Chains A and B, each alone.
Chain A
């Protein structure tokens, strides 16, 4: 089955610096890669996503890159702000056995220090 590894598990950056979170997946059938942000006690919320036919996508301070050959995708946050502090999850999605199977990474706790 699919395996998604996410690194690092914790990340501390100074306000204004960039943060990069990396994920690798194992199943080449995965074709959709969302990133979720989860604040303490809240629901996971989609912040950006990318499909397998695209190499890069950007939305203001957030960007995601995908390397299908290496089965690797990354989240980039520039000009970090304290409100970016949260746990970030990557995910790899594919159709399997009649449903959309989503495999989540184990999360990265990002702390932005003012």
Chain B
């Protein structure tokens, strides 16, 4: 089973350009999440989705948007990248939606550098 996959593995992006980070899970999990991981700041939640068709804002949502058209996919879009968005981005999923706390499983990450 693949679990959670992310693409691309890494990317260098010019400031002002847009980009979509892809995330796909095959575990039929209800909830999906996007985190960014920065040295010294740990993992911070950008956006989440409890179930297909719904999304919500996390701790650091500015400059990012998400969609959840189906259960498996949860893309993250940077409309106009800025250097402060340089980070490692992790997608995660958990079986439960909004009903209970549950283990989150992480994808392999995307390393993004904005110049």
Q: Which A residues fall within an 8 A CB radius of B?
A: 31-32, 34, 36, 42-46, 49, 89, 93-95, 97-102, 104-107
Residue B90 is within 8 A (CB to CB) of chain A in the complex: yes
| A-side interface mostly | strand
B98 contacts which chain A residues (CB < 8 A)? Answer: 95, 98-100
B63 CB, nearest partner CB in chain A, Å: 20
Residue B105 is within 8 A (CB to CB) of chain A in the complex: yes
B25 contacts which chain A residues (CB < 8 A)? Answer: none
| B-side interface mostly | loop
A32 CA to B56 CA, complexed, in Å: 21
Which residue of B41, B94, B101, B107 contacts A43 across the interface (Cβ within 8 Å)? B107
Which residue of B45, B48, B90 contacts A44 across the interface (Cβ within 8 Å)? B90
A13 CA to B99 CA, complexed, in Å: 40
Please determine whether A89 and B42 come into contact, CB atoms closer than 8 angstroms: yes
Which residue of B43, B48, B105 contacts A104 across the interface (Cβ within 8 Å)? B43
